[in-house]
Structure 1
Amino acid sequence: MTEPRPDLFAPAPGYLAACTMGLPMRSTVEALRADLDRWSSGRAGPVAYGAVVEEARAAFARLARVDVGRVAIASQTSAMVAVLAASVPDGAEVLVPTGDFSSIVYPFVVQEARGVRVRSVPLDELAGSVGPDTHLVAWSAVQSATGEVADDAAVVAAAARHGALTLCDLTQAAGVRPVDASRYDASVTHAYKWLCCPRGVAFLTLGERLQRMTVPAQAGWYAGDDVWGSCYGPEMRLAADARAFDVSPAWQAWAGALPALRTFAGLDADETWAHAAGTGDALCARLGIEAQGRAIVTWADPDGRDQRLLGDAGLVVSGRAGRVRVAFHLWNDESDVEAVAAALGR
């Protein structure tokens, strides 16, 4: 099993909930404290924050394997998905997995009033369900409720055969497993989970094909080709690349995000996944359940009993859709596996 990296984080024994909210790196805590000092002394300013945002954008581009000009900054994934959903043609079909996270589904559902058809199928049937009427396929690379990993290659190939667009939510993948956003027409990622950033830091990647078809409905001053020349209307020249879809950043959050994004961009994502999924399988073996090969280990817990037992033992886990979720990241190791087993009396 690949070694964990607890040195990057402050001690937080029993924290098994990266799928809900990541822990801050030591460098993020230091950056936020330094930023608070600068702000409180009147030495912070928008221009300096803008430079931080651009460094963070570039770090995410490296991590996601896309050109930096294809990355837009955001605060929430659902808001960026809503922009894409608003440009889906009337009457078009959008295909999604049943039970996927609402941020990747609801923005399309609310477009049904103008004839957009949202069709849901089980995740393992997603690729086979793409057809000639499918305008766009939207799915999460890793399912929030179950930790199940989508057959990404099959979905992308099926969409290509039928000329359908692709939108992948990488929120539960980026930071813990390898991702390649260049494979999709669009991807969305909120960085507060496995990328361990403050909440309010998110990304949209956009290919040229989909960018041409999409209206940047949230355009504001930060979407201009010259940000500081776009403060007042009505004349405006939008950025030519994905920055046309930028929303103005929540400055303090980005100050904390930059060191984390730099770190993850420099880590070997295959090694991170080997550690997280390997620790997950060690838990499965300890509990006598089938190995899942995932960073998020889940099992049926309809009455919440196991989640309560784990909580009573001081372990931080989560529950979704009648299942308990135990998530492993770089700060976790086999001592957490033993703690879970002991709390459950196994």
Structure 2
Amino acid sequence: MAHSAALAAAIDEFREPRGYLAVASIGLPPNSAVAAMRADLNAWEAADRDPQGYDPVIARTRESYARLVGIPSSRVAIGSQTSVLTALVAAAVPDGAEVLIPEGDFSSIEFPFLQRPGIRVRVVPLEALADQITDDTWLVVFSLVQSATGVVADTASILEAAARHDAFTFCDVTQAAGVLPVDASLFDVTVCHTYKWLCSPRGVAFLTLSERFDPLLTPLQAGWYAGDDVWTSTYGPAMHLATDARRFDVSPAWQAWIGAEPAIALFAGLDIAEVWAFTSGLGDALCEAVGIPPQRQAIVTWPDASGGDLKKLIDAGIRVSGRAGRLRASFHLWNDLSDVEAVARVLG
């Protein structure tokens, strides 16, 4: 199938790392991100950098991410890790309230709730999540795409049940944004770390908040970067926080944002449905090649409890990963059918 001009240009932004099927573990940077980071490093070495110079980069990156997930940038806060942003939400859960989570979801969105005293956390299978929402459920927490299996959550059913029982929704889109269309406006909270499918340096994460959930949060980690005017907010005790989601900002790791800006802008300019058709198509080609039912996912997994298949592929120079007793292969823009054929040859 022919690619659109935009997708073809995006594919050309990556080198040809044949055999790299591990974007679900860590993405690869586009050429523009590498060039930007090298230029920034040179400028830093030449004493030609100052903290204020990073602010426009961060503002543009926030705008690109907001455009990618379909919400105003005023509803987007920045951070560095999903667990830190999740902990802010966990602190807002009322005493005695129920939080519903799927069994086996990623720990960064589960541990902060499990560590929170005074609330009730109920764990159910992902496929039963919608049916298990009740009038007692205050918050439903889940990943749009499961890290261990690549399974895409049935968001329509979850959202319908949550609305029926007046429960809030929290969705981790780390394994989705950049490969699967994401509409953050559907959820009360989303979190995303961008070092996977958005091909950014580690240390760039986002929190989005609905208008009804925003007032429930307290900016417990407020610092100078949460100020309405950042550079007059560097000393206390006077505190004038931003009035929008920026009041939840965590001060940025500057160099990471230099690489994130071109990477996230790249994906914000694509038709992500086309990206999903391309990557999940490669996933189904791999399923056919290794003789398993089609999964219709960009992440393909199968049982490999002994790690035998993982070892064969790694020894052959094919980068995949093992998670929860399963072999995990994941496809992104730099992959093509030759990667599928290489896996099939090694596994026979």
TM superposition score normalised by structure 2: 0.97
> Does residue 1:292 correspond to 2:264, yes or no?
no
CA distance in structure 2 between the partners assigned to 1:149 and 1:2 by the alignment: 26
Select the residue among 47, 61, 64 that pairs with 1:59.
64
What whole-Å deviation, never above 9, does each CA across 1:191-247 have from its counterpart, x for those lacking one? Answer: 000000000000000112111111111100001111111110011111111001000
Partner of 2:225: 222
CA distance in structure 2 between the partners assigned to 1:160 and 1:168 by the alignment: 15
1:235 maps to a residue whose letter is A
Select the residue among 110, 113, 117 that pairs with 2:115.
110
Matches within 5 A, 1:1-346: 1=1, 3=3, 5-111=10-116, 113=117, 115-345=118-348
1:120 maps to a residue whose letter is V
Say whether the 8 Å CA contact 1:156–1:166 is kept in structure 2. yes
SS at match of 1:299: strand
Runs of 4 or more off by more than 6 Å in structure 1? none
Q: Percent identity?
A: 59
1:206 maps to a residue whose letter is L
Deviation at 1:2, TM superposition (A): 5.6
1:260 maps to a residue whose letter is A
Say whether the 8 Å CA contact 1:104–1:138 is kept in structure 2. yes
CA distance in structure 1 between the partners assigned to 2:2 and 2:281 by the alignment: 8
CA distance in structure 1 between the partners assigned to 2:274 and 2:128 by the alignment: 29
Number of aligned positions between the proteins? 343
The alignment yields a C-alpha RMSD, in angstroms, of 0.9
CA distance in structure 2 between the partners assigned to 1:344 and 1:141 by the alignment: 30
What whole-Å deviation, never above 9, does each CA across 1:25-73 have from its counterpart, x for those lacking one? Answer: 0001000000001111111111110110000000000001000000001
CA distance in structure 1 between the partners assigned to 2:234 and 2:156 by the alignment: 42
What whole-Å deviation, never above 9, does each CA across 1:302-342 have from its counterpart, x for those lacking one? Answer: 00000000001100000000000000001101000000001
2:48 maps to a residue whose letter is R
What whole-Å deviation, never above 9, does each CA across 1:135-188 have from its counterpart, x for those lacking one? Answer: 000100000000000001111111111111111000000000100001111100
2:80 maps to a residue whose letter is S
CA distance in structure 1 between the partners assigned to 2:93 and 2:113 by the alignment: 8
SS at match of 2:206: strand
CA distance in structure 2 between the partners assigned to 1:218 and 1:116 by the alignment: 21
Deviation at 1:11, TM superposition (A): 2.4
1:310 maps to a residue whose letter is L
2:278 maps to a residue whose letter is H
CA distance in structure 2 between the partners assigned to 1:261 and 1:11 by the alignment: 20
Say whether the 8 Å CA contact 1:2–1:274 is kept in structure 2. no
CA distance in structure 1 between the partners assigned to 2:203 and 2:53 by the alignment: 18
SS at match of 1:248: coil
Deviation at 1:6, TM superposition (A): 3.4
SS at match of 2:93: coil
TM superposition score normalised by structure 1: 0.98
CA distance in structure 1 between the partners assigned to 2:234 and 2:2 by the alignment: 49
Say whether the 8 Å CA contact 1:2–1:275 is kept in structure 2. no
1:281 maps to a residue whose letter is D
CA distance in structure 2 between the partners assigned to 1:232 and 1:124 by the alignment: 49
CA distance in structure 2 between the partners assigned to 1:343 and 1:257 by the alignment: 35
What whole-Å deviation, never above 9, does each CA across 1:248-292 have from its counterpart, x for those lacking one? Answer: 000000001100011100011000000000000001111111000
CA distance in structure 1 between the partners assigned to 2:123 and 2:275 by the alignment: 32
SS at match of 2:171: strand
Q: 5+ unaligned residues in a row in structure 1: which ranges? A: none
1:298 maps to a residue whose letter is T
